[in-house]
């Protein structure tokens, strides 16, 4: 590793061979992450008969959109688009609620002048290590809060997580200097004004990180819908796709019934439909990741104290 001096600032640069090796390793790692998803897309576009004859292949012998036609056919398409809308609403609102509550909680326990910071930190840590279990959660959500068959039953159970709180606490302690907070207090700013105008702009990378975690949690959640939702107009996408998957498995196990309903299991795109379900449930949230990454990069360029 060589050292160069540019405008009296020491800059370290690696040997070109070392850079090449690192680039190749990172490229191989990136390809290994992308290839499985491409493989799933190709399987979902493969004709079922060809899939049964040739097996899984990166380039199908015969392409077919029968799996997507089966998923989006007739009345099923209306249910999927309705469930998609419910999932988007729950993900957006839930992520906003989660990021707001997590940031406020973490900021308070990160400040050294808060007298109860140790108690609330241990409280968050204990809830992460010891969970009450599904029965206690069910009784609280359904009987105590009365959220059964409401949209809040899909939002509030995931609105606050101890892991995100501890991540943001560490981020606030290392990123937000006490000197800025003290200067703002001397100028007469309130705690909420300090948090809104000073702390939040400095915490963009951390908030973007926990927002991504929260969005993934809400998007992939189906258990809360299974426990608390009976109304068809409140069913999220993941739960609906899971029911479609269960129907495919049921038809595959009951060949006689499958023949009566679908004209025989040969016409039923069971394997390709499974992969199509994976694509439908994964692709939208995967496409949103670059937007979060933009905030990661932009937030890292923000500085609070110049030396």
3-class secondary structure per residue, 220-284: HCCHHHHHHCCCHHHCCHHHHHHHHHHHHHHHHHCHHHHHHHHCCHHHCCHHHHHHHHHHHHHHH
Helix (H) or strand (E) holding 17: helix 16-44
The encoded tokens of residue 115 equal 């007298």
Separation of alpha carbons 245 and 243, rounded Å: 5
Cβ neighbours of residue 112 closer than 8 Å, sequence gap 6 or more: 178
**Contact status, residue 276 vs residue 68, Cβ threshold 8 Å:** yes
End-to-end CA distance of the chain: 27
Question: What pLDDT does 67 receive?
Answer: 78
Q: What is the pLDDT along the chain (307 residues), one digit of tens a residue?
A: 444 444 444 555 667 788 888 889 988 988 888 888 888 888 888 877 777 677 777 777 778 887 788 777 767 778 888 888 899 999 999 999 999 999 999 988 988 888 888 899 888 888 888 877 788 888 888 888 888 889 999 999 989 888 889 888 888 888 888 788 888 888 888 888 888 888 888 888 888 888 888 988 999 888 899 889 888 888 898 888 888 777 766 666 665 554 444 444 445 556 777 788 778 888 887 777 777 666 655 544 444 444 4
Angle at which helices 75-110 and 237-253 cross, to 10°? 130
User: Is residue 75 one of the residues assigned to a domain?
Assistant: yes
Which phi and psi (to 5°) does residue 3 adopt?
Answer: -115, 135
What's the structural domain count of the chain?
A: 1
Question: What pLDDT does 131 receive?
Answer: 79
- CB burial readout 123-141, b (16+ within 10 A) else e: ebeeeeeeeeeeeebeeeb
User: Is residue 45 one of the residues assigned to a domain?
Assistant: no
- Other C-beta atoms within 10 Å of 90: how many? 24
**Contact status, residue 291 vs residue 252, Cβ threshold 8 Å:** no
Pick from 237, 218, 238: which is nearest to 95 by CA? 218
User: Is residue 281 one of the residues assigned to a domain?
Assistant: yes
User: Is residue 8 one of the residues assigned to a domain?
Assistant: no
Q: Which pTM was predicted?
A: 0.76
Q: Is 10 helix (H, G, I), strand (E, B) or coil?
A: strand
Cβ neighbours of residue 273 closer than 8 Å, sequence gap 6 or more: 44, 67, 70, 71, 244, 248
Pick from 11, 100, 129, 79: which is nearest to 239 by CA? 79
- CATH number of 202's domain: 1.10.3720.10
User: Is residue 29 one of the residues assigned to a domain?
Assistant: no
User: Is residue 143 one of the residues assigned to a domain?
Assistant: yes
Pick from 292, 297, 286, 290: which is nearest to 38 by CA? 286
Which phi and psi (to 5°) does residue 24 adopt?
Answer: -65, -45
User: Is residue 196 one of the residues assigned to a domain?
Assistant: yes
Which structural domain range is residue 176 located in? 66-300
The encoded tokens of residue 26 equal 């990172």
User: Is residue 223 one of the residues assigned to a domain?
Assistant: yes
């Amino acid at each position: 590793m060589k050292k160069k001096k540019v405008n009296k600032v020491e800059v370290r640069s690696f040997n070109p061979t070392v850079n090449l090796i690192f680039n190749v390793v990172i490229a191989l790692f990136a390809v290994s992450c992308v290839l499985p998803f491409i493989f799933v897309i190709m399987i979902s576009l493969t004709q079922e008969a060809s899939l049964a004859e040739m097996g899984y292949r990166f380039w199908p012998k015969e392409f077919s959109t029968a799996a997507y036609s089966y998923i989006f056919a007739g009345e099923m398409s209306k249910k999927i688009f309705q469930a998609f809308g419910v999932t988007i609403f729950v993900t957006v609102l839930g992520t906003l609620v989660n990021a707001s509550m997590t940031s406020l909680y973490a900021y308070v326990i990160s400040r050294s002048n808060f007298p109860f910071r140790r108690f609330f930190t241990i409280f968050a840590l204990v809830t992460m290590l010891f969970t009450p279990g599904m029965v206690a959660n069910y009784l609280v959500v359904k009987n105590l809060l009365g959220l059964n068959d409401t949209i809040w039953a899909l939002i509030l159970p995931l609105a606050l997580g101890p892991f995100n709180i501890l991540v943001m606490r560490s981020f606030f302690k290392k990123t937000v200097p006490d000197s800025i907070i003290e200067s703002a207090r001397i100028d007469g700013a309130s705690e909420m004004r300090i948090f809104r105008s000073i702390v939040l702009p400095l915490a963009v990378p951390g908030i973007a990180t926990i927002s991504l975690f929260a969005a993934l949690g809400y998007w992939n959640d189906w258990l809360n819908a299974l426990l608390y939702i009976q109304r068809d107009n409140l069913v999220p996408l993941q739960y609906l796709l899971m029911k479609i998957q269960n129907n495919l498995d049921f038809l595959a196990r009951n060949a006689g019934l499958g023949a009566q309903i679908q004209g025989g299991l040969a016409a039923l795109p069971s394997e390709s439909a499974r992969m199509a379900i994976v694509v439908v449930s994964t692709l939208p949230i995967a496409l949103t990741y670059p937007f979060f990454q933009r905030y990661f990069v932009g937030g890292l360029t923000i500085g609070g104290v110049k030396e």
